[in-house]
Amino acid sequence: MKLGFLTACLPGLPLDEIADWAVAEGYQALEVAVWPSAGGRDFEASHLPVADFTDADEQRTRELLERTGLTISSLAYYENNLHPDPATRESIRTHLKHAIDTAARLGVDSVGTFIGRDPRLSVLQNLREGEKVLPELVEHAGERGVKIVIENCVMEGWHPDGYPGNLAYSPELWEWMFDLGFYLNWDPSHLMWIGIDPLETIEPYLDRIIHTQAKDVELFPAKRNRYGHFGIVDKGGDPWATGWWRYRVPGLGQVDWRRVIDRFHDLGYTGTVSVEHEDPVWGGTPEKVQQGLRIAHRTLSPLIEPQ
């Protein structure tokens, strides 16, 4: 196991600066954000120009990894691959293929994204649509020796009524996407607020968990009595408004990381545990984000690399 973090939390810093900081703080891997430079939403960044990745870009990236000793655990482009607008969907698919091609050039074995959802359709209608259009992405990746990993984020902010906007939130749906050839970027924080015990989902699906995102969650059950299980309805234009939970860096929420990492050790997991920093307390400036990453490192590193 290696400990890394997703670079999207530091969108304003170049990759070489992030890498130097990561090494100094004891991290071993980077999950590199590769959204288009035209992005700009929260928790998105463009740290490699995958849409026009040149030989010079490849050489610079390889030299950076050699100099720092870091590995790239995955390339991250988390978008809605079932977007209801055809032009937007095609743009997302095209950029995802660029990310896959770049991963293959760099010897990175996975690219992360979402299944997504067309909110105009029922879940079952989305599954049938996914069965038509998603296998071509899996084939594109497989031909290049790359696996597509899907994060089990609910993405309720993508749905106008706050229902799941990414159809990979439960083991039932994982099994559906595994049949299509996808793998899992396992994140316990999302499982906890929808009522699924993260520990119980590791062993049955270990052969499909090839990457892990370490994000914690802080729950406020008293507020659930007002909003219900799916959270606040009137988000006031803020898709991150949840109502009774908020995401934290590992160690500041209610995920039992000691038991999670012990279960991984026990079962022989050898992938990367990658901190996904979406903590509102330790956010807002690069300095605060970096302090949040230090807290996560102090929490996880003794468990991943026992002293």
Q: What is the pLDDT of residues 17-52, one digit of tens each?
A: 999 999 999 999 999 999 997 455 678 899 999 999
Domain that holds residue 254: 2-304
Q: Where residue 280 sits, what CATH number does that domain have?
A: 3.20.20.150
Instruction: Return the pLDDT at 40.
Output: 59
Cβ atoms of 158 and 126 within 8 Å: the answer is no
- Quick one: residue 237, left, alpha or beta (phi over 0 = left, psi -120 to 50 = alpha)? left
Q: Give residue 38's pLDDT.
A: 47
Place of tokens 């973090």: 5
Low-confidence ranges of the chain (pLDDT < 50): 38, 307
pLDDT of residue 234: 81
Give the pLDDT score at 307: 46
Nearest to 19 by CA among 43, 40, 48: 48
What 170-175 contacts at long range (C-beta under 8 Å, 24+ apart), as own/partner pairs, is: 170/194, 170/196, 171/196, 171/201, 171/204, 171/205, 173/115, 174/205, 174/208
Number of domains in the chain: 1
Provide the pLDDT for residue 306. 61
Cα gap 206→191, rounded to integer Å: 16
Give the model's pLDDT for residue 159: 87
Residue with tokens 């049949």: 179
